[in-house]
């Protein structure tokens, strides 16, 4: 008999659940767009992950890095047989953050609700809503991700921390599968995997609210879509992920999955050319070495901070450096859910700028990954 603290610690713990009742990722998954932009409730977990950079239209020297994410964590794969407005088969979690790159201020907001009609949920094609949730307690408004034929619209508001965004995001490059047919292996055997695709370049415009200020903004974005029913293998504790947009028009996605000893258990890289064609690289074809570290004052967690990335076939030997170290997301809703999600710059070995992007570092210092 195990003790469980009802709710997220276990909802979010994939390994605690038998996988056979959920649909499993497959290399011959039959994609259907645009429906696949919407939820897949027969898979256990799913997320819509947007990161990018925004410039103030009124003060072009002022730039922001942003994150907007919806997670769906399935509780049961079965449809809910109740007329109660509390009926739920999933939990909806939202994370959003804006970092003011001029002064390094990082503001994080989160929501967490059962996927019940009263509080949050996911939509289904062809309705416009992909996911929505009531704003965090103490705040009015909603979080919402919608799609129309041409663009995604992301809105959120949290009056408690003074954060809001209303962004319209149009794909600038076509959708890219992160692995053959979007089947993204998370270990060498392929027993842990997800279905994964990316819009590596988005054109973004809209409004953001930081503190008491509302800014009209425009900029760029990167959207990851991933769904699975258990994307980490039993021995893996977290991952390092990078989505880099190079100035020459290429994009690079890299992830490393770490085991409990902290060493790399599995890794993958995709180089996307200017036309949006991916090249999948095996672990031996690239290397990513940490070049520094940073310890968070609020959580005490030490993260690697600064990397040297070498991809021979892409003729890349670059440094990836944080634009600000203060980009750690610390959840108050879920104990131990702390991770670093932040803007990074890409420079050549002489320090000349070559691009920028986002890094995500999870599972450090005993923290749990978001899902």
Chain contacts with another protein (rule: CB under 8 A): 1-8, 10-11, 16-17, 75-76, 78, 80, 82-89, 91, 112-114, 116, 118-119, 134-135, 137-141, 159-160, 333-334
Cα(257)–Cα(238) distance, rounded to whole angstroms?
6
CB of 69 to another protein, least distance (A): 17
CB of 16 to another protein, least distance (A): 6
Nearer to another protein, 83 or 261 (CB): 83
CB of 73 to another protein, least distance (A): 9
| CA neighbor of 319 nearest in space, from 302, 334, 301, 307 | 307
CB of 334 to another protein, least distance (A): 6
Nearer to another protein, 89 or 225 (CB): 89
Cα(153)–Cα(205) distance, rounded to whole angstroms?
10
Q: Is the dihedral of CA 55, 247, 155, 74 positive or negative?
A: negative
Cα(293)–Cα(283) distance, rounded to whole angstroms?
23
Beta bridge partners of 253: 243, 270
Ramachandran angles phi, psi of 104, nearest 5° = 75, 10
Two structure tokens written together for 350: 């002489």
CA-to-CA dists, residue 330 to 105, 267, 301, angstroms: 14, 26, 11
Nearer to another protein, 82 or 302 (CB): 82
Nearer to another protein, 83 or 315 (CB): 83
CB of 143 to another protein, least distance (A): 13
> Are residues 165 and 209 in contact, defined by beta-carbon separation less than 8 angstroms?
yes
Two structure tokens written together for 345: 């710059």
Nearer to another protein, 85 or 216 (CB): 85
Nearer to another protein, 115 or 357 (CB): 115
Cα(255)–Cα(240) distance, rounded to whole angstroms?
6
CB of 224 to another protein, least distance (A): 25
């Amino acid at each position: 008999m195990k003790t469980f603290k009802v709710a997220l610690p276990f909802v979010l713990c994939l390994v605690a659940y038998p996988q056979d009742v959920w649909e499993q990722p497959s290399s011959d998954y039959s994609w259907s767009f645009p429906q696949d932009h919407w939820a897949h409730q027969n898979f256990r977990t799913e997320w819509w992950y947007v990161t990018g950079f925004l410039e103030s239209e009124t003060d072009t020297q002022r730039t922001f890095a942003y994150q907007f994410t919806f997670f769906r964590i399935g509780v049961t794969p079965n449809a809910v047989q109740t007329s109660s407005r509390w009926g739920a088969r999933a939990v909806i979690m939202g994370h959003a953050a804006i970092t003011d790159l001029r002064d390094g201020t990082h503001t994080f907001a989160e929501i967490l609700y059962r996927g019940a009609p009263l509080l949050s949920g996911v939509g289904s094609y062809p309705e416009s809503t992909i996911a929505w949730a009531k704003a965090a307690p103490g705040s009015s408004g909603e979080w919402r991700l919608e799609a129309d034929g041409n663009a995604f619209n992301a809105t959120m508001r949290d009056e408690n921390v003074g954060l809001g965004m209303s962004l319209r995001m149009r794909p600038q490059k076509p959708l890219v599968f992160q692995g053959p047919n979007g089947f993204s292996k998370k270990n060498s055997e392929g027993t842990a995997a997800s279905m994964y695709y990316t819009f590596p370049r988005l054109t973004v415009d809209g409004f953001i609210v930081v503190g008491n200020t509302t800014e009209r903004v425009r900029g760029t974005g990167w959207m990851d879509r991933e769904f699975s029913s258990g994307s980490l293998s039993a021995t893996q504790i977290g991952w390092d992920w990078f989505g880099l947009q190079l100035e020459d028009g290429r994009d690079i996605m890299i992830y490393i999955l770490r085991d409990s000893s902290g060493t790399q258990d599995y890794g993958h890289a995709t180089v996307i050319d200017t036309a949006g064609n991916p090249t999948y690289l095996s672990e031996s074809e690239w290397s990513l070495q940490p070049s520094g570290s940073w310890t968070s004052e609020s959580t005490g967690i030490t993260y690697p901070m600064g990397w040297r990335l070498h991809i021979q076939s892409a003729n890349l030997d670059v440094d990836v450096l944080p634009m600000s170290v203060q980009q750690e997301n610390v959840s108050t809703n879920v104990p131990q859910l702390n991770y670093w999600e932040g803007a990074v710059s890409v420079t050549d070995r002489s320090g000349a700028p070559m691009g920028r992007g986002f890094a995500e570092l999870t599972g450090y210092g005993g923290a749990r990954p978001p899902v």
